[in-house]
Copies of this chain bind each other. A is one copy, B any other.
Amino acid sequence: MLAAERRDLLLTRLRTDGKVVAKDLAAELGLSEDSIRRDLRDLAAQGLCQKVYGGAVPASPAVVDYAGRRALAPESKQEVARRAARLVHPGAVVVLDGGTTALAVAGALPADLTCTVVTHSPTVAVALLEHPGVETILIGGRIFKHSAVACGAAAVEAAGSVSADLFLLGVTGVHLEHGLTTGDADEAAMKRALSRRAAETWVLASAEKLGTASAFDVLGLDDVAGIVTDGGDHEVSRGLAARGIAVL
């Protein structure tokens, strides 16, 4: 096993289990605890996790999401994407957020669908080149390297001039008290701007994001029409449904 590979595994475990115990991982991988501790120390130095006595815990949902996204099992995102794709009707004007989940939605759209998609993610725009029937409107601006989307004043302004039927919003945290949150202030502003003139906003959130919160508020739960998630029953799902928010 490569050292870089092992580091990804640690980040994945942090995300799925919420913690990593050095002793357990050492036994599982057949390595000394020293090596695991060394890895955790390095990751902590990069801000990707937080060391605690005996192991480590995630730094913040947003950070871990970004750092470990390649290692993430795409299954949950694929499932969310498939469900979200069904919300997009022929001829509709849809705003598609940035992020890996929204990218998966772009890939999950039917090949022959005819509609208009507005996005501030060049990655999504490139993915939509494969859909000849989809008219793509790209919102420009300064590109944020870590999330690969256009943000900033110009982008927010451009977003304000689009009236869409549907906005598919990606967030890093869905919390009954804190609402919808993400890990970057500019991104949050961008998402708010995209939401403002959309008739309906639906949230894309795989199950592991339910019950978590990041630093910056995006919207309140009552500002959205529904949420698309995967998996079965969840405490947060029930709470959302109780507040009249559709759960797909």
Which residues in A have some Cβ–Cβ distance to B below 8 Å?
2-5, 19, 21, 52-55, 57-58, 60-62, 66, 70, 120, 122-123, 125-126, 128-129, 132, 135-143, 145, 148, 150, 154-155, 158
Contacts and interface: CB of A to CB of B under 8 A. Distances in A.
A122 B132 contact: no
Contacts of A140: 120, 137-141, 150, 155, 158
Nearest to A5: B19
A126 B122 contact: yes
A44 B137 CA distance: 31
A27 B198 CA distance: 57
A125 B143 contact: yes
A75 to B, nearest CB: 15
30 contacts: A2-B21, A2-B54, A2-B57, A3-B52, A3-B54, A4-B52, A4-B53, A5-B19, A5-B57, A62-B126, A66-B126, A122-B123, A122-B138, A126-B126, A129-B143, A132-B145, A136-B143, A136-B145, A137-B140, A137-B142, A138-B141, A138-B142, A138-B143, A138-B150, A140-B140, A140-B141, A140-B150, A140-B155, A140-B158, A154-B158
